Amino acid sequence: MSDFTEKLRLKGMAEEDLYFARRDRELIAARKKLDEAKKHEEVSAGDAPSIAKSAMDSKEISDQKSSA
């Protein structure tokens, strides 16, 4: 009889391991997707400041020329 209960216990542990392994894979995939989206945002946003800075530089140059 104890052999049967041991098998039931092992079956429950195996099911628990499978559940958490699947959940971990889903969480890792979601995290990678989030990191990629964040990286894409940073790359897209990284272009905007340099464009804005060059526009500000050209405005300052034109302001200096008009002041002189």
- For the full predicted model, state whether its pTM sits above 0.85: no
Residue-level pLDDT at 54: 59
Number of structural domains found in the chain: 1
Q: What is the pLDDT of residues 18-40, one digit of tens each?
A: 999 999 999 999 999 999 999 88
User: Percentage of the chain surpassing pLDDT 70?
Assistant: 65
Specify whether the backbone of 37 is left (phi greater than 0), alpha (psi in -120 to 50) or beta: alpha
Which whole-number Å values give the CA distances from 13 to 4, 24, 55, in the listed order?
14, 16, 63
44 confidence band (pLDDT: 50, 70, 90): confident
Using DSSP, how many helices (H) and how many strands (E) does the chain show? 1, 0
